[in-house]
Chain A
Amino acid sequence: NAGVMQNPRHLVRRRGQEARLRCSPMKGHSHVYWYRQLPEEGLKFMVYLQKENIIDESGMPKERFSAEFPKEGPSILRIQQVVRGDSAAYFCASSPPGGTAGELFFGEGSRLTVL
Protein backbone atom coordinates (compact mmCIF):
# COMPACT_ATOMS: atom_id res chain seq x y z
CA ASN A 1 0.00 0.00 0.00
CA ALA A 2 1.86 3.04 -1.25
CA GLY A 3 2.07 6.01 1.05
CA VAL A 4 1.47 9.64 0.20
CA MET A 5 3.41 10.42 -2.94
CA GLN A 6 4.74 13.89 -3.63
CA ASN A 7 6.56 15.14 -6.66
CA PRO A 8 8.83 16.63 -7.53
CA ARG A 9 10.98 16.03 -4.46
CA HIS A 10 13.15 18.97 -5.37
CA LEU A 11 12.26 21.94 -7.53
CA VAL A 12 14.36 24.95 -8.46
CA ARG A 13 12.70 28.03 -9.89
CA ARG A 14 13.84 31.55 -10.69
CA ARG A 15 11.98 34.51 -9.29
CA GLY A 16 8.80 35.16 -11.23
CA GLN A 17 8.35 31.60 -12.46
CA GLU A 18 5.57 29.23 -11.46
CA ALA A 19 5.91 26.21 -9.21
CA ARG A 20 3.51 23.27 -9.29
CA LEU A 21 3.69 20.66 -6.56
CA ARG A 22 1.73 17.44 -6.82
CA CYS A 23 0.41 15.10 -4.16
CA SER A 24 -1.25 11.72 -4.53
CA PRO A 25 -2.92 10.69 -1.28
CA MET A 26 -2.88 7.19 0.11
CA LYS A 27 -5.36 4.81 -1.48
CA GLY A 28 -8.81 5.32 0.00
CA HIS A 29 -7.97 8.71 1.49
CA SER A 30 -10.23 11.57 0.45
CA HIS A 31 -8.79 14.35 2.64
CA VAL A 32 -5.64 16.20 1.62
CA TYR A 33 -3.69 18.83 3.54
CA TRP A 34 -0.79 21.04 2.57
CA TYR A 35 1.74 22.35 5.08
CA ARG A 36 4.80 24.54 4.61
CA GLN A 37 7.99 24.32 6.62
CA LEU A 38 10.64 27.01 6.59
CA PRO A 39 14.17 26.09 7.72
CA GLU A 40 14.44 25.53 11.49
CA GLU A 41 10.71 26.07 11.97
CA GLY A 42 7.66 23.91 12.62
CA LEU A 43 5.09 23.12 9.99
CA LYS A 44 2.49 25.76 9.11
CA PHE A 45 -0.96 24.73 7.91
CA MET A 46 -1.88 26.02 4.47
CA VAL A 47 -5.00 24.33 3.16
CA TYR A 48 -7.35 21.38 3.67
CA LEU A 49 -9.17 19.90 0.70
CA GLN A 50 -11.55 17.11 -0.10
CA LYS A 51 -12.30 15.92 -3.61
CA GLU A 52 -13.28 19.00 -5.68
CA ASN A 53 -13.73 21.13 -2.54
CA ILE A 54 -11.56 23.48 -0.53
CA ILE A 55 -12.62 23.02 3.07
CA ASP A 56 -10.22 25.36 4.89
CA GLU A 57 -7.72 27.66 3.20
CA SER A 58 -7.10 29.91 6.16
CA GLY A 59 -3.34 29.32 6.00
CA MET A 60 -2.92 30.15 2.34
CA PRO A 61 -1.31 33.47 1.41
CA LYS A 62 -3.90 35.72 -0.20
CA GLU A 63 -2.03 36.09 -3.45
CA ARG A 64 -0.08 33.81 -5.80
CA PHE A 65 -0.99 30.57 -4.01
CA SER A 66 -3.76 28.20 -5.01
CA ALA A 67 -4.63 24.57 -4.41
CA GLU A 68 -6.94 22.06 -5.96
CA PHE A 69 -7.90 18.43 -5.53
CA PRO A 70 -9.78 17.38 -8.66
CA LYS A 71 -12.12 14.43 -8.98
CA GLU A 72 -9.43 12.57 -10.86
CA GLY A 73 -5.71 12.92 -10.34
CA PRO A 74 -3.45 14.34 -7.68
CA SER A 75 -3.84 17.44 -5.56
CA ILE A 76 -1.89 20.41 -6.91
CA LEU A 77 -0.36 23.29 -4.96
CA ARG A 78 0.40 26.10 -7.37
CA ILE A 79 2.62 29.06 -6.60
CA GLN A 80 2.67 31.81 -9.21
CA GLN A 81 5.44 34.37 -9.63
CA VAL A 82 7.62 32.79 -6.97
CA VAL A 83 9.79 34.91 -4.70
CA ARG A 84 12.80 33.93 -2.59
CA GLY A 85 10.63 33.80 0.52
CA ASP A 86 8.67 30.90 -1.01
CA SER A 87 11.74 28.68 -0.64
CA ALA A 88 10.64 25.98 1.79
CA ALA A 89 9.65 22.37 2.16
CA TYR A 90 6.02 21.75 1.24
CA PHE A 91 4.45 18.70 2.82
CA CYS A 92 1.26 17.02 1.78
CA ALA A 93 -0.71 14.79 4.12
CA SER A 94 -3.83 12.69 3.70
CA SER A 95 -6.38 11.01 5.90
CA PRO A 96 -9.27 8.64 5.29
CA PRO A 97 -12.93 9.63 5.47
CA GLY A 98 -14.11 9.18 9.03
CA GLY A 99 -10.59 8.83 10.33
CA THR A 100 -9.25 10.47 13.48
CA ALA A 101 -8.94 14.17 12.67
CA GLY A 102 -5.40 14.59 13.94
CA GLU A 103 -3.94 11.39 12.52
CA LEU A 104 -2.39 12.41 9.24
CA PHE A 105 -0.15 10.50 6.86
CA PHE A 106 2.56 12.68 5.39
CA GLY A 107 4.55 12.49 2.21
CA GLU A 108 8.28 13.07 2.00
CA GLY A 109 7.84 16.66 0.94
CA SER A 110 8.73 18.84 -2.03
CA ARG A 111 11.61 21.20 -1.49
CA LEU A 112 11.31 24.40 -3.44
CA THR A 113 14.34 26.61 -3.97
CA VAL A 114 13.82 30.00 -5.55
CA LEU A 115 16.94 31.58 -7.04
Chain B
Amino acid sequence: DAKTTQPTSMDCAEGRAANLPCNHSTISGNEYVYWYRQIHSQGPQYIIHGLKNNETNEMASLIITEDRKSSTLILPHATLRDTAVYYCIVTTGNNRKLIWGLGTSLAVNP
Protein backbone atom coordinates (compact mmCIF):
# COMPACT_ATOMS: atom_id res chain seq x y z
CA ASP B 1 0.00 0.00 0.00
CA ALA B 2 1.12 3.53 -0.74
CA LYS B 3 2.52 5.58 2.10
CA THR B 4 0.72 8.75 3.19
CA THR B 5 2.11 11.93 4.75
CA GLN B 6 -0.01 14.24 6.88
CA PRO B 7 0.80 17.26 9.04
CA THR B 8 1.10 16.37 12.70
CA SER B 9 -1.38 18.97 13.90
CA MET B 10 -3.67 21.74 12.72
CA ASP B 11 -5.92 24.34 14.27
CA CYS B 12 -9.22 25.64 13.00
CA ALA B 13 -11.69 28.22 14.28
CA GLU B 14 -15.18 27.00 15.05
CA GLY B 15 -17.54 27.64 12.14
CA ARG B 16 -14.76 27.88 9.59
CA ALA B 17 -13.80 25.26 7.05
CA ALA B 18 -11.10 22.80 8.07
CA ASN B 19 -8.90 21.66 5.21
CA LEU B 20 -6.76 18.64 6.03
CA PRO B 21 -4.11 17.73 3.44
CA CYS B 22 -2.65 14.32 2.68
CA ASN B 23 0.21 13.43 0.36
CA HIS B 24 0.24 10.01 -1.29
CA SER B 25 2.70 10.48 -4.15
CA THR B 26 3.28 6.73 -4.66
CA ILE B 27 -0.41 5.87 -5.01
CA SER B 28 -1.13 3.33 -7.71
CA GLY B 29 -4.04 3.26 -10.13
CA ASN B 30 -6.16 0.79 -8.19
CA GLU B 31 -5.74 2.38 -4.76
CA TYR B 32 -8.46 4.33 -3.01
CA VAL B 33 -8.05 7.17 -0.54
CA TYR B 34 -9.91 6.65 2.74
CA TRP B 35 -10.37 9.08 5.60
CA TYR B 36 -11.16 8.15 9.18
CA ARG B 37 -11.17 10.12 12.38
CA GLN B 38 -10.70 9.15 16.00
CA ILE B 39 -12.13 11.28 18.74
CA HIS B 40 -10.19 10.92 21.97
CA SER B 41 -10.48 7.42 23.49
CA GLN B 42 -13.15 6.34 21.00
CA GLY B 43 -13.09 3.92 18.10
CA PRO B 44 -12.19 5.25 14.65
CA GLN B 45 -15.05 6.51 12.51
CA TYR B 46 -15.18 6.20 8.75
CA ILE B 47 -15.65 9.57 7.02
CA ILE B 48 -15.34 9.22 3.27
CA HIS B 49 -13.36 7.61 0.48
CA GLY B 50 -12.63 8.17 -3.20
CA LEU B 51 -10.70 6.87 -6.18
CA LYS B 52 -10.20 9.84 -8.49
CA ASN B 53 -13.34 11.93 -8.49
CA ASN B 54 -14.18 14.39 -5.77
CA GLU B 55 -16.66 13.04 -3.26
CA THR B 56 -19.08 14.62 -0.81
CA ASN B 57 -21.29 13.20 1.91
CA GLU B 58 -23.04 14.53 4.97
CA MET B 59 -19.81 14.66 6.95
CA ALA B 60 -17.21 16.03 4.58
CA SER B 61 -15.87 16.56 1.08
CA LEU B 62 -12.86 14.84 -0.42
CA ILE B 63 -10.86 16.61 -3.11
CA ILE B 64 -8.34 14.45 -4.99
CA THR B 65 -5.85 16.14 -7.30
CA GLU B 66 -5.86 15.18 -10.96
CA ASP B 67 -2.57 13.30 -10.65
CA ARG B 68 -3.94 11.62 -7.48
CA LYS B 69 -0.75 12.33 -5.58
CA SER B 70 -2.51 14.31 -2.90
CA SER B 71 -5.93 14.92 -1.45
CA THR B 72 -7.71 17.26 0.94
CA LEU B 73 -10.47 16.45 3.38
CA ILE B 74 -12.77 19.41 3.91
CA LEU B 75 -15.01 19.84 6.94
CA PRO B 76 -17.12 22.78 5.70
CA HIS B 77 -18.19 24.22 9.06
CA ALA B 78 -16.04 22.80 11.80
CA THR B 79 -17.52 22.42 15.29
CA LEU B 80 -15.87 21.68 18.61
CA ARG B 81 -16.99 18.07 18.22
CA ASP B 82 -14.81 17.74 15.13
CA THR B 83 -11.70 17.92 17.34
CA ALA B 84 -10.06 14.55 16.64
CA VAL B 85 -7.16 12.80 14.95
CA TYR B 86 -7.80 12.43 11.21
CA TYR B 87 -6.24 9.56 9.32
CA CYS B 88 -5.66 9.38 5.58
CA ILE B 89 -5.24 5.79 4.34
CA VAL B 90 -4.51 4.51 0.86
CA THR B 91 -5.41 0.95 -0.02
CA THR B 92 -6.64 -1.20 -2.87
CA GLY B 93 -10.31 -1.91 -3.32
CA ASN B 94 -10.10 -5.46 -2.05
CA ASN B 95 -7.47 -5.06 0.66
CA ARG B 96 -9.08 -5.29 4.04
CA LYS B 97 -5.88 -4.68 6.01
CA LEU B 98 -5.65 -0.95 6.56
CA ILE B 99 -2.25 0.63 7.31
CA TRP B 100 -2.61 3.52 9.76
CA GLY B 101 -0.12 6.34 10.23
CA LEU B 102 -0.15 8.91 13.03
CA GLY B 103 -2.72 11.16 11.35
CA THR B 104 -3.36 14.87 11.86
CA SER B 105 -4.53 16.09 15.24
CA LEU B 106 -7.15 18.74 14.49
CA ALA B 107 -8.07 21.18 17.24
CA VAL B 108 -11.22 23.22 16.63
CA ASN B 109 -11.10 26.33 18.79
CA PRO B 110 -14.04 28.46 19.96
A interface residues with partner B (beta carbon < 8 Å): 4, 31, 33, 35, 41-45, 48, 55-56, 58-59, 91, 93, 95, 100-109
Q: In the bound complex, do residue B45 and residue A106 qualify as a contact, i.e. CB atoms below 8 Å apart? A: yes
Q: How far is the CA of A56 from the CA of B95 in the complex (A)?
A: 11
A58-B97, A101-B94 known; A41 vs B102 contact (CB < 8 Å): yes
Q: How far is the CA of A6 from the CA of B91 in the complex (A)?
A: 26
Q: How far is the CA of A109 from the CA of B43 in the complex (A)?
A: 6
B interface residues with partner A (beta carbon < 8 Å): 32, 34, 41-46, 49, 87, 89, 91-103
Chain B interface secondary structure, helix, strand, loop or mixed? Answer: loop
Q: Closest Cβ of chain B: how far from A102's Cβ, in Å?
A: 4
Q: In the bound complex, do residue A48 and residue B44 qualify as a contact, i.e. CB atoms below 8 Å apart? A: no
> 25 A-B pairs, CB-CB below 8 angstroms?
A4-B43, A35-B100, A41-B102, A42-B103, A43-B100, A45-B97, A45-B98, A55-B96, A56-B96, A93-B43, A95-B96, A101-B92, A101-B93, A102-B32, A102-B96, A102-B98, A103-B34, A103-B46, A104-B44, A105-B46, A106-B44, A106-B45, A107-B43, A109-B42, A109-B43
A102-B32, A102-B49, A102-B91 known; A91 vs B96 contact (CB < 8 Å): no
